[in-house]
Structures are given as C-alpha cells and as structure tokens.
C-alpha cells in the first residue's frame, strides 16, 4: 500500500507543480495586480461557471467511478480503479484551471482557487480508505 501511495503522491505533485508553473509563467503572477477580483457582468458569467462546473462534475464523476469498484476486492486491488477515478477528477480540475488561464486571464483568481482545491485533494492513506468506505 505504501509503495503505491508513494507513486500516487508523485503523480499528484507533478500535476500540481505543472499547473503552478504554468500559472506563474503564463499568468504573469509576478505582477500582484493580477490577483484582483474581476468585474462580473452578463458577458463574462460563463467564465465564473467554469470552476463551479469543474468542482461539481469532477466530484460527481469521482464518486460514480468509486462506487463502481467491487467491494469484494482487497485494498491493493481497489487502488488501481481508485487511482483512475482520482486522475479523472484531477484532469477535470486541471483542465478547467488551464481553460481559465488561457481563455479568461482576468479570472485567474478562480483558477488559483482550483489549484488550491487540487492541492487539498492530495492522496493520503486515510482519504483513500475513507473514500473506499474501509474505515472501521
């Protein structure tokens, strides 16, 4: 379990690090004025919907994929489909953050919120067991 968890954490850290580097270089985060809240009007509300939709869809798909994992399998056997479900979740969040960065750089603060959420999803043994309903 620990070896697979270590690999899983490396995958997660690589995704987060790549996203942070992209935001730093492409998002021009060295300029602190980028971190202000943008003015939201009827023309750009769709950009506000991107992170909200990413959060909802990623969690829905993750829970759906985890619920399809056979409960009769051992923990080690459950880790592969769990990791796949997690990667789907990470990809949706990461893709949405990149979409915001490229299409609507004024909304970079919402992309950064997605990055923080992705960081908080770091895989731990407790989180995996909780998601797989293996806690006593």
Q: Which pLDDT score, from 0 to 100, does residue 10 have?
A: 96
Query: Quick check: is 36 in a domain?
Result: no
The pLDDT > 70 percentage for the chain reads 94
Question: 120 in helix, strand or coil?
Answer: helix
pLDDT, position 78: 92
Q: Is residue 56 part of a domain?
A: yes
pLDDT, mean of residues 92-106: 94
pLDDT at site 92: 98
Is 64 within the bounds of a domain?
A: yes
Is 37 contained in some domain? no
> Helices marked H in the chain — which ranges?
2-26, 45-67, 75-103, 108-120, 125-131
Is residue 47 within 8 A of residue 113, CB to CB? The reply is no
17 inside domain: yes
Does some domain include residue 96? yes
Res. 80: pLDDT tops 60: yes
The domain of 100 spans: 2-29+47-131
- Indicate the Cα dihedral angle 78, 66, 84, 16, nearest 10°: -120
- Higher-confidence position of 73 and 60: 60
Higher pLDDT, 89 or 76: 89
Mean pLDDT of 93-115: 93
Higher-pLDDT residue of 63 and 2 is 63
34 is a domain residue = no
Number of domains comprising the chain: 1
**Would you say residue 108 lies in a domain?**
yes
**Mean pLDDT score of the chain:** 90
Per-residue pLDDT of 4-41, as tens digits, reads 899 999 999 999 999 999 998 888 776 666 667 778 78
């Amino acid at each position: 379990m620990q070896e697979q968890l270590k690999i899983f954490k490396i995958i997660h850290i690589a995704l987060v690090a790549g996203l942070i580097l992209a935001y730093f270089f492409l998002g021009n985060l060295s300029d602190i004025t980028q971190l202000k809240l943008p003015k939201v009007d009827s023309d750009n509300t769709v950009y506000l919907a991107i992170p909200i939709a990413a959060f909802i869809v990623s969690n829905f798909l993750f829970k759906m994929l985890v619920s399809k994992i056979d409960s009769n399998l051992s923990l080690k056997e459950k880790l592969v489909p769990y990791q796949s479900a997690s990667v789907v979740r990470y990809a949706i969040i990461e893709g949405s953050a990149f979409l915001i960065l490229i299409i609507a750089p004024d909304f970079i603060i919402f992309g950064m919120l997605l990055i923080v959420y992705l960081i908080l999803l770091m895989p731990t043994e407790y989180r995996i067991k909780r998601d797989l309903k293996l806690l006593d």
